Amino acid sequence: MNNKTILITGASSGIGEAIAKKFAAEGNKLILNGRNQEKIYALKKELEKSYNTSIHTIIFDVRDFDAAEKAIKELPDNFKDISVLVNNAGLALGVDKEFEGNMSDYETMIDTNIKALLKMTLLVVPGMIQRQEGHVINIGSIAGEKAYPGGSVYCATKAAVKALSDGLRMDLYDTPIRVTNLKPGLVETNFSVIRYHGNKQKADNVYRDIKPLTGKDIAEVAYFVASAPAHVQISEVEILATHQASAQMVWRG
């Protein structure tokens, strides 16, 4: 697919950045969202220099629902027709037991992983229905399939992403709009650094003695599902490193 308008939340790094690069390389226009203005502007400059593409940036924290609504309403005319919404912004914070964790961390995960995804869906999908064309790609996780110790709230948020994806697909079954839930396993980005509140040593240990997935791997899958023929809806894709069998089963040979 090319010459489409792709909106990506959380595009300043990791999976979001990789998805932006892949869709730009294939000749699509991008709307890049992120909190870090410097990183988003640097990515915009890089992509416009490397590829024949147009980039529009919308700088806000996805938890700021008023800012999100304002940004979508004020999109330039040549960016209003969004063909693909990639709800990528998300995070995990902490590995505490559920009864020992930090409520602020819990609220941040819920607001970012669930409520912000829902808000972007509310803002973008009605336009897709009006145009009878579109695709919503939600970045979920294998954590949404089964909880694991130290991750109950994060797992709950990703279970919600699965439920929201399934429910949206049902709500749209009489339209041409498609919905896909991508569920990665171990992906080496700054995800674990954020989860461990900046402790790089603990973050690096997550990927010890295994070749994890990269943001580029997830971007390739995102592009694949988006470029499938119009009559093909790939509802879910679970993506694991070769030596990972589940959230807890990792062979570190």
Q: 27-41 pLDDT, tens per residue?
A: 999 999 999 999 999
- 207 given a catalytic annotation: no
> What is the per-residue pLDDT across 177-218, written as a single tens digit (0 to 9) for each?
999 999 999 999 999 999 999 999 999 999 999 999 999 999
Q: Supply the pTM of this predicted model.
A: 0.97
pLDDT value at 48 more than 90: yes
pLDDT value at 224 more than 90: yes
pLDDT value at 52 more than 90: no
- What is the model's pLDDT at position 226? 98
- Among 158, 183, 196, 223, the one annotated catalytic: 158
- What is the model's pLDDT at position 14? 97
- What is the model's pLDDT at position 231? 98
Q: Is 180 exposed, middle or buried (CB count within 10 Å of its CB: 0-12, 13-18, 19+)? A: buried
3-state secondary structure the chain: CCCCEEEECCCCCHHHHHHHHHHHHCCCEEEEEECCHHHHHHHHHHHHHHCCCCEEEEECCCCCHHHHHHHHHCCCHHHCCCCEEEECCCCCCCCCCCCCCCHHHHHHHHHHHHHHHHHHHHHHHHHHHHHCCCEEEEECCHHHCCCCCCCHHHHHHHHHHHHHHHHHHHHCCCCCCEEEEEEECCECCCHHHHHCCCCHHHHHHHCCCCCCECHHHHHHHHHHHHCCCCCCCCCEEEECCCCECCCCCECCC
Among candidates 3, 16, 65, which has minimal Cα distance to 43?
16
Residue 199 to residues 27, 50, 167, 202, 205, Cα–Cα distance (Å): 38, 34, 37, 6, 10
> What is the per-residue pLDDT across 53-87, written as a single tens digit (0 to 9) for each?
999 999 999 999 999 999 999 999 999 999 999 99
> What is the per-residue pLDDT across 83-132, written as a single tens digit (0 to 9) for each?
999 999 999 999 999 999 999 999 999 999 999 999 999 999 999 999 99
Would you tell me which CATH number, out of the four given (3.40.50.2000, 1.10.150.20, 3.40.50.720, 1.10.760.10), belongs to the domain 5-239? 3.40.50.720
- 158 given a catalytic annotation: yes
- What is the model's pLDDT at position 83? 98
Task: State the Cα–Cα distance between residues 16 and 24, nearest whole angstrom.
Answer: 12
Q: Where are the domains of the chain?
A: 5-239
- What is the model's pLDDT at position 253? 83
Task: State the Cα–Cα distance between residues 94 and 17, nearest whole angstrom.
Answer: 24
pLDDT value at 1 more than 90: no
- Among 106, 154, 196, 223, the one annotated catalytic: 154
